[in-house]
């Protein structure tokens, strides 16, 4: 059950990251939301939770870090995608 919740929250964080960075023309790319959401949630959530002293428990600081991590990973991916499209 926890794994399903992590996957769903990762997808929501990835979709939120796409909306915060500007909604794509075709709507939300759910495969990108899934990948960047999980990566961002892992990196951002873990980093912020550990830095704030919450440990590995589910706390608001980890949830906020998850969304921020997803925004960073999504921004990096979109930047890479734009740069590779130019060449």
The secondary structure of residue 86, as a DSSP letter, is H
> CA-CA distance, 87 to 68, in Å (whole number)?
29
> CA-CA distance, 20 to 36, in Å (whole number)?
14
Q: How confident is the model at residue 58 (pLDDT cuts 50, 70, 90)?
A: low
Query: pLDDT tens digits for 1-37?
Result: 667 877 788 888 888 888 888 766 778 888 888 888 8
Which pLDDT does position 52 carry in this prediction? 72
Residue 74 and residue 36 in contact, taking contact as beta carbons nearer than 8 Å: yes
| pTM (2 d.p.) | 0.73
């Amino acid at each position: 059950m926890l794994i399903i919740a992590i996957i769903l929250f990762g997808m929501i964080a990835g979709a939120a990251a796409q909306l915060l960075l500007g909604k794509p023309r075709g709507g939300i790319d759910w495969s990108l939301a899934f990948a960047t959401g999980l990566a961002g949630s892992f990196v951002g959530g873990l980093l912020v939770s550990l830095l704030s002293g919450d440990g590995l428990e589910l706390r608001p600081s980890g949830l906020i870090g998850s969304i921020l991590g997803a925004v960073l990973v999504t921004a990096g991916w979109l930047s890479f995608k734009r740069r590779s499209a130019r060449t």
